[in-house]
Structure formats: structure tokens, C-alpha cells
Amino acid sequence: MTKILDIQNLTVKFGEFTAVDNITFSVEKGEIFGFLGANGAGKTTTIRALCGLVNISSGKMFIDGKDVSKNTKELKPRIGYMSQKFTLYQDLTIKENMIFSGALYMLSEKESIKRMKEVFEYVNFKESPDEMVKNMSGGSKQIVSLAASILHNPEIIFLDEPTAGISPVSRKLFWDLISKLSSDGKTIFVTTHYMDEAEYCRRIAFMQNGRIVALDSPENLKAASKASNLEEAFINFLDKK
Amino acid sequence: MKETLKKIKAVALKEYRHIMRDKFTLAMGFGLPLLLIIFFGFIIELNYNKIPIFVKDDSRSAQSRAFVQKLSAGDLFIPVYVSGDDPVKYFERNETAVIINIDRDFGKSVSYPEYGKQAQIQIMLDASDPSKAGLVLSYIPSIISNSYQADQKYEIKTRYLFNGELNSKYLIIPGLIVVIIGLISILLSSLAIAKEWEKGSMELLLSTGISPAEIILGKIFPYMLMSLIGTVVVFAAAKIIFAVPFTGSFIFFFISCCVFITASLGLGIFISVIAKQQLLAMLIAMPVGLLPSMLLSGFIFPIENMPLFFRGLTAILPQRWFMEICRGTFLRSAGFTDLMIPFLALSAFCVFIIVIASKQFKTDLEP
Amino acid sequence: MIRFSIIKAFFKKEIVQTLRDKKMFAMIFVAPIIQMTLFGFALTNEVKNISISVIYSPHDVLARTIETRLLESGWFVQGKTGNETDHSKILSERKAEAVLVMPSQGFLKEIERGDAKIQLLVDAVNPQRAVQVENYVKNIIAQTVSQEFKNTSSGLALPIDLNVRILYNPSLESSFFMIPALFGFILCIFTVMLTGISLSKEKESGTFEKLISSPVTVWEILLGKTLTYSLLGFIVALSMVAGAYLLFGITIKGGLLKFLLVCSIFIVSSCSVAIFISTLAKTQQQAMMGSLLFLFPALLLSGLIFPVENIPAYAQWIAYINPLYYLLEALRNIVLKGGDWVVIAQNCIPLALIGFALLLFGVKKFNSKL
């Protein structure tokens, strides 16, 4: 397996506050890598740092062997990022949003629409492309949002709490899509606080106060802390610290 | 009745605490009026001075020089001698707005009027700014008649009433008071109800069985207090910094102030009842509060100059009526009897807008 | 690096967003029309419509002639009189703005006796206006007297004949002065307010994160935004040019080309203002406040409402850093006088400098990080 993401001693400070505190880990190509932790544990900041959206204080980040801080421009087309905030335009239709998102990655209108149809077919998404985004349900919004992030066929996809606040049925649908993407060879980096979702990941990292307190496959983590489920494992690890 | 007063008091007290804790609102209530009146009080100046006049003197006589000398008396005009064949060039390049051509025979004709040949002076006027053109058109002939007509035979004595010193600040400052108080009151209150809607606390308020009128009145009182303090600040600035005399009835001025503030707050609340969002409330409050009070209140552009339709339109503006009252009480020694119409109009608007706001509020609540 | 296809995508998106929002649509297309009629028809601060009451004895023919001349001059309208002996009451009750009290014995008779005394009372709340009223009254009296004593050696005939030639706006219509300035003002509101708000809207909602995570550059974002609103501003300005012609008969003497040239230089400056504001504002509300904090003084100190040359010398520099001031100077010259290149250069160079300085600063501050 090749390391597609390699993070060494990453630290991000906002003034006096240390959001990410000297973390080191790597992600392999094609795996689903999960980040778990409470709000403010530093998950979002790590993702934003990897996407080149915040200035890092120290450490190194490599995507496919290339230094992120130096090759931001070159790497951006190779990653897809779905923010925790809703990043589609509410006053545009699904199609209009897709065309615009595609254009940001130099896709033509035709290509964007073709890709949109592919993705929607993939997950059996039924809404009309001419529907206004503001009129859609929370679950549909997240699907469309993900679709917009992968239009340009990125190798690595960063998903920041993609399933927060949507119904269990939609969450299931959403994770089906993620699994499919992974089986197509995409690397998925996802944060969540749903423990049941973490089971879909090949490996997960528990984060607390900017640090990684544990990193392994779900089975190993459960075994190591002698817990019957991930939630228990998580609590056990936090207690140790 | 007692119940109602109690409810109004509760809303007022709550709002008062909000205000005291919100630095932005506090700054807007007290700091902004002072800042505005000082800044604009010093800067707005409607009086022209040192208007350059280009003079092409073909006569080159003692008489023509004497004439040009007379133009420069006072600070209004600065004559500049030019020669050149294409005077229009000066206009095109915005170098001057007035060119005076003095005829070759000027000296002779002025010295020997009994020959019956009048001396010729041509004035070329760039009238792209009509008010400047009007000024020049009024001044130059009067300089001529003052200087060349045997005026000892008749004498015009002018008395300037209400502003004997001809101080233009006396015109601007009372007007600015109206603009500033109106603007602040409308802005403050237009955000007040929109904020409750946006944050969802309105539903809580309404679930207690409090009536729209009670909410509106309760909201008005604390802001009224704030606007009144703002008024005192502005008033003090007018007296101390700009030394504008106050000649009318103070009590009447104060009562009118209260009515005007209530009317403006009412207008602001009406806006926020319609808008229900702070951003939209601000978007509406700006053109409704700012533009009319600057442009249609008679502050800078006289109402009597407007066509009938617009003159009628100004009648629905509280700023217009308070402008009359403000200038009247400051400068014209006016009291209630002189300013009855503006006062009644203002009061009528005040009652009207509060009733409308409450009504609109009520219809919003019914599904 | 600026890629055209990205600018185009921004342009399409912004246009759809703007035109789909009904309130926005109204603001864009209805507000200019209202402003134009308002500025064109209602707002003039020339001295006219002065209500005057002339008081004279019934047999005084010369005084009556003077009254007639006053009212025929176009500056005056008939004021009301009362039967008070205290004429200042006419003013304090606002029955008239000026009262002219002619000699009780008959004006002509008293002139011939050599001691005619006329009293003029003027409401001086607006001092400039008061002095101008006084001048108009004096001029009309002087001319009437001069004509009465024509060809006499009384010294009352005026020795000078004034021949007035009025250029560019012979009917002294203030709409000619206001409308060109209004083009500029509307353009300014469009570019500053709409660009500023739409930039901060992206920041406030999460969409900005999406933009900067994709491989677009800051220049592409800014250009994509500003081009759209500039173009909308242009369209509105052009439709106002048409409206100005239809409503007020105003044509652009210097031609559309000069007009558009100056406008485009201005647009760069005012977009820089918008970018500058949105680098400071985090929310739409702050952007709105920021644009108002710019627009209010910019409007007041642009020469639209009162001439900049009247501002006290110590404060004039504020006008000289105001892009709107230069725009109005240039536009008025182009529309009314044909646009002398010297004037265009005089105004466009500072305009471009202001724009350039702000743009550099704004782009530098406009972070592509969060």
C-alpha cells in the first residue's frame, strides 16, 4: 500500500490557542480513514490544513509525496472537500450549482452535467436537477453537496461531518456512496461523531484537545480497550489520558 | 389598564437591559449623533465664495479697472485678467464659470453718459451649475447699480430677519439636528423588532398573551429615552460648538422633539414589523430614513422649489414638519401658535404610524 | 493567472442569483428610476419661487410697475399680506419670504424730492438665499428707475448695458446639473454596495470555503464578482442615459465613448472600495454598514448636493480622496460641455490612482485562507 497522505508533527495555532497539537499519522491510498472526537478536538482544523485553507504553525504535510504548503495550487484539483458548513448556493438550482462547482475545476458545462448524472445514478438520487437547493431536504442537500465536491474526480475526498443532522435513512444512503467511492480506489478522509458510522472506516483516529489519542482499525481499538463497541472504546481511551 | 402598563413596563425594562449591554447600540445612540453633527456641521457649506471671474478687458481704461475693482470687493468673486480669443475653452476646461468681456468704448461711455450711449459689458455664463449661475446673475447687476446709479436719491434699507449675521451655520445646524435624530431613531428601532423575530424570542413574548400594541409601546420607551439623550447631546453641540441661538419656546421644542422621536421610532418599528430580518430592515430603513430626511425635508433643497406633486409628497414625511419646527424655534422665535400646522401634522403622523404598525403586527400573527 | 471560463461561470452564477431575488431586482431597477425623477424634478437649490409682498399706497404707479416686474421676472411669486402695521409679522407668520415696503408718499414723488426710502425685509434663515433675494429686488428696482429716468441727467439712468450669454444650460434647469451626477451616484451604489454585500455573503455562508478549497485564484474570485456588478451598473447607467434623454431631453455632448471610458475607470476604483470593505467585514450586516459609512460621506462630499469648492479649505482633502467627486466632475463635463481631454485626464488620473492603491491593499488583505 502507498501512503497518499503523510502528516508529520502538524501544529496549528490560532493566537494563543493550539487547535492541532503536534500530530503525526498517514493515510493509505483507497482507505476510508475516520477522525473521531468531540467538537473543538481539532478535526476540522486538520482537514482545513490539509486542504490548504489555514496557515499551519509547524510540521509537514504531504499529499502523494508533495508538500502541501508548497504545491497548494497543483494539489487542489486532486482533492475534493466537503465542508461542515453548507457550501451550496441556496438560491440556485441543483444543476446551476453543479455547473458552477465544475467550472471552478475547469470542467465545461456539458462535462459537469454528465458527471452530475453519473453521481446521481450511482446513488439512485431522484430529485430533479432543476429543483432549487433551498427547497430540498437535509439529506438530499448533503448528497448534492458531496456530488459537487467530487465532480472533478478527485483522488482524495475530505468530508467534514457530512452526516450531521440528517435522518438515519439518508445517512445509510450517504455511507453507501462513500463505500462505493472507496471501492473505486478513492481515498476518503471523514470526520464524524456518530460511532456507528466509524465502523465503516478501515482505520480511525480518536482526537482530543488537538492530539491523536489512539489510531487503529475499529476491531483493534475495541480489543485494545476491552470494549464491546466503539463508543465504549472511545470513552476508555479518553479516560486513560 | 394597570395590567397593560405593567406589561409595557416589563418589555421596556427588558429592552433597556439589552441596550445597556450592547455597545454597538449605545455607541450609535450617543457617539454617532455627536460625531455626525460635528463632522457635517463643519463641512456642509452652501455659501459660495472666491468664485473666479475671467475678465477680458478690451477697454484698458481707468474706468474699466475701477469696474473690475468693484467686482472683487467682498470675498465672493476673484477677478482674473485674461486675454485670448477662445473664451469657451475656459469653460470646457472647468477653469471658470464666468467670463466678462468689457467693450473697447467702456471708459468713454461711462464717463460721458449724457451722450446716451450705454457702455457695453458682456457676461458669459457657464450655467451647468444653475445655482452658481443664479448667484452671479443676481450679484453683478447689483454691483453695477450700486456703483453707477445716483443712489442718494433713493435708498433701500434691508433688514435681515431671524439671522442678522447671515451665518450659514444657523441654517445648517438646526437642519442637521432633524436629520440626525430622525436617522438614529429609525435605525435603532427598525432593528429592534426584527431582531426578536430573527432570534425567535418573539414567539416566546407572544405566547405570554402580550398584545402587539403593548410590545410596540414597551419597545418605544427605552429607545425614546436614548434618542432624547442623543437629542440633548446634539442640542448642546449646536449651542456650544456652533453657537446657534435658540429664540423660540423651549418647552414647545421639547414636546415636538418627543413627538418627532416617537414618530420616527414608530416608523422604524413599522419597518421592522414588515421586514422581520435585520438585514432587510436596514435595507429598507436606509432609503426610507436617510434619503427623504436629507433630500425631501427642506434641509438643503427648498420645498417651495419642488413641483406640486413632490411638495404634496413631503407632507407625509415627519422630517419635513419637524424641520419647520426646528428652524422656527431656533431662529424665528416661534411658538405653538406659529407652528401649529407642522405640530399637528407631526402628531397625526405619529398616531397614524403606531396604529398602522400595531395593525400590521396583528395581521402577521393571524395565520 | 486569470482564466476566462472561471470568470464566465462566476458571471452566470451572480446574474442568476441577483435576478432571481425579487427584492434585489426591485432595488436594482426601480430605485434608479425613483432617484432619477426625484433628482431631476424635485431637487433644486436655486433661488426661485421667492414669495414677496410689496406694500405701497394705491396710487403709486412706479411701485406697482416694480411689483409687476418682480413677479414677471420668474424669481418671485406673490406673497400674502396682513393688515398688521408691523411688517416683520408677515415674515414670522411665514406669509412671505420677503416684504418690500415702498415709500408711503409715492415712490416717484419721493425720488424727485431726493429722499425716497424703501425698506426690504428678508427672511435670512438661509443667508445665501437672503442676499440673493436682496440682489434681485435691488436690480429690478434699479432697472425700473433707470428706465423711468432714461435720457435724463438725473444720474439715475444706468450707464452700463449688460448683455448676458448663458452657455450649456440656458434655461437654468437644475436637472442638467443633477442627472449627470446621478449617473455617477447610481454606478457607485451598484458597484460598492452590491459587490460588497455579495462578497460578504459568500463569507458568511459557507460557500466561501468551497471557493478557496478549489483551484481558483483570489483575482479570479474578485474579478468574477466585480465584473458582474459593474456590468449591471453599466446597464442601469445606460438605461438612465436613455431615461435622461426621454424625460429631460439631456444628451451626452461628449459622446458615449468618453462617457463609458470614464465610467469604467471609476468602476475599477469603486470595486476596489467594495473589496476593501469586504476584507474588513465578516458578515453581510457589517458589509452593509461599511458601505454606508463610505457612501454617506462620499455622496455628501461629491458635489452632488452642494459644491465641493464651498467646503472649508481644511476639510477639502476629504473630497479629494473621494472617487465619486472625480467621477462627477468628469461626467458633468462630458455630458454638458463635450468632455475636454484635459479635464478628463485631470479627473481620471487621481481616480485611477485611488483605485489602484485600494486594489493592491484589498487584494493583499483579501485572504485565500480562513
Same domain, B183 and B313: yes
Report strand pairing: A17-28 vs A3-14: antiparallel
Query: Which candidate in B38, B108, B152, B161 is best for mutational testing of the C interface (most C CBs within 10 A)?
Result: B161
Which of A162-171, B23-32, B276-285, C96-105 is predicted most confidently? C96-105
What's the CA gap between B172 and C125, in Å, rounded? Answer: 9
Taking the Cβ of residue C19 and every Cβ of chain A, the question of whether any pair is shorter than 8 Å is answered with no
Same domain, B229 and B303: yes
Give the bridge partners for B120, in sequence order.
C161
**Whether A87 and C214 lie within 8 Å, measured CB to CB:** no
Same domain, B26 and B74: no
Sign of CA dihedral B308, B309, B314, B316: positive
Q: Are B233 and B33 in contact (CB under 8 A)?
A: yes
Q: Are B18 and B162 in contact (CB under 8 A)?
A: no
**Whether C207 and A89 lie within 8 Å, measured CB to CB:** yes
Q: How many domains does chain A have?
A: 1
Where chain B has pLDDT below 70, the residues are 113-116, 150-152, 279, 287-289, 364-367
Same domain, B197 and B343: yes
Under 8 Å CB-to-CB from A163, ≥6 apart: which residues?
A142, A170, A171, A174, A175, A192, A194, A197
**Whether A86 and C205 lie within 8 Å, measured CB to CB:** yes
Is C368 a residue whose pLDDT tops 70? no
Same domain, B178 and B117: no
- Hey, what domains does chain C have and what are their CATH numbers? 4-43+172-365 (no CATH), 50-148 (3.40.1710.10)
Same domain, B144 and B275: no
pLDDT in tens, A76-124: 889 999 988 888 888 889 999 999 998 888 888 999 999 899 888 877 7
Taking the Cβ of residue C84 and every Cβ of chain A, the question of whether any pair is shorter than 8 Å is answered with no
DSSP string across B161-216: ES-TT--THHHHHHHHHHHHHHHHHHHHHHHHHHHHHHHTHHHHHHHTT--HHHHH
Interface chains of chain B (3 or more CB pairs under 8 Å) = C
Q: What is the pLDDT of residue C370?
A: 61
Name the residue with cell 454528465. Answer: A114
How far is C285 from chain A, CA to nearest CA, in Å? 19
**Residue in B42, B109, B141 closest to C159 by CB:** B109
CATH code assigned at A133: 3.40.50.300
What's the CA gap between C123 and B147, in Å, rounded? Answer: 26
Q: What is the pLDDT of residue C164?
A: 79
Same domain, B100 and B204: no
The residue with greater pLDDT, C114 or B340, is B340
Is C68 a residue whose pLDDT tops 90? yes
The residue with greater pLDDT, B350 or C280, is B350
Are A and C touching by the rule of 3+ CB pairs within 8 Å?
Answer: yes
Domain span holding position B133? 51-153
Average pLDDT over residues C256-277: 88
Residue C228 C-alpha cell reads as 458582474
Please identify, among B153, B180, B202, the residue that sits at the C-terminal boundary of a domain.
Answer: B153
**Residue in C3, C209, C211 closest to A85 by CB:** C209
Query: Which candidate in C2, C213, C219 is best for mutational testing of the A interface (most A CBs within 10 A)?
Result: C213
**Whether C207 and A148 lie within 8 Å, measured CB to CB:** no
How far is A54 from chain C, CA to nearest CA, in Å? 5
How far is B302 from chain C, CA to nearest CA, in Å? 6
Under the banding of pLDDT at 50, 70 and 90, the label for residue C221 is confident
**Whether A81 and C211 lie within 8 Å, measured CB to CB:** no
Query: Which candidate in C135, C136, C148, C160 is best for mutational testing of the B interface (most B CBs within 10 A)?
Result: C160
Q: What is the pLDDT of residue C250?
A: 86
Same domain, B194 and B142: no
Same domain, B126 and B266: no
Same domain, B126 and B247: no
Is the ipTM here above 0.95? no
The residue with greater pLDDT, A27 or A1, is A27
B58 in a domain, yes or no?
A: yes
Under the banding of pLDDT at 50, 70 and 90, the label for residue A188 is very high
Q: Classify residue C295 by burial, with Cβ atoms within 10 Å: 0-12, 13-18, 19+.
A: buried
pLDDT in tens, C307-360: 888 888 888 888 899 999 999 999 988 988 888 899 999 999 999 999 888 888
Q: Using beta carbons and an 8 Å cutoff, which residues of A are at the interface with C?
A: 48, 51-55, 73, 76-77, 79, 81, 83-92, 96, 99-101, 103-106, 108, 148-149
Please tell me whether residue B31 adopts helix, strand or coil conformation: helix
What's the CA gap between B141 and C311, in Å, rounded? Answer: 27
**Whether B148 and C333 lie within 8 Å, measured CB to CB:** no
Under 8 Å CB-to-CB from A150, ≥6 apart: which residues?
A80, A119, A157, A181, A186
Taking the Cβ of residue C257 and every Cβ of chain A, the question of whether any pair is shorter than 8 Å is answered with no
Under 8 Å CB-to-CB from B3, ≥6 apart: which residues?
none
**Residue in C6, C9, C209 closest to A53 by CB:** C209
Residue type, A161: E
What's the CA gap between B199 and B203, in Å, rounded? Answer: 9
Strand order in the sheet with C160-167: B77-81, B51-57, B98-102, B119-126, C160-167
- Provide the mean pLDDT of chain C: 84
**Residue in B92, B123, B149 closest to C164 by CB:** B123
What's the CA gap between A119 and A100, in Å, rounded? Answer: 16
Q: What is the pLDDT of residue B234?
A: 92
CATH code assigned at B82: 3.40.1710.10
Size of interface B-C (CB pairs under 8 A): 296
What's the CA gap between B57 and B64, in Å, rounded? Answer: 7
CA within 13 Å, CB half, A164 = 15
- Nearest 5°: the CA angle C239, C240, C243 is 90
Strand order in the sheet with A58-63: A17-28, A3-14, A58-63, A66-67
Taking the Cβ of residue C285 and every Cβ of chain A, the question of whether any pair is shorter than 8 Å is answered with no
Q: Are B241 and B41 in contact (CB under 8 A)?
A: yes
B253 in a domain, yes or no?
A: yes
Identify the closest residue of chain C to B307 by CA–CA distance: C42
Report strand pairing: B51-57 vs C98-101: unpaired
Domain span holding position A36? 3-240
Identify the closest residue of chain B to C284 by CA–CA distance: B279
Q: What is the pLDDT of residue B152?
A: 65
Share of chain A above pLDDT 90, in %: 21
**Residue in C41, C127, C168 closest to B167 by CB:** C127
Same domain, B197 and B271: yes
Same domain, B353 and B297: yes
B162 in a domain, yes or no?
A: no
Please tell me whether residue A138 adopts helix, strand or coil conformation: helix
**Residue in C94, C156, C340 closest to B150 by CB:** C156
Contacts of A101 in chain C (CB under 8 A): 210, 214
**Whether A104 and C206 lie within 8 Å, measured CB to CB:** no
Q: How many domains does chain B have?
A: 2
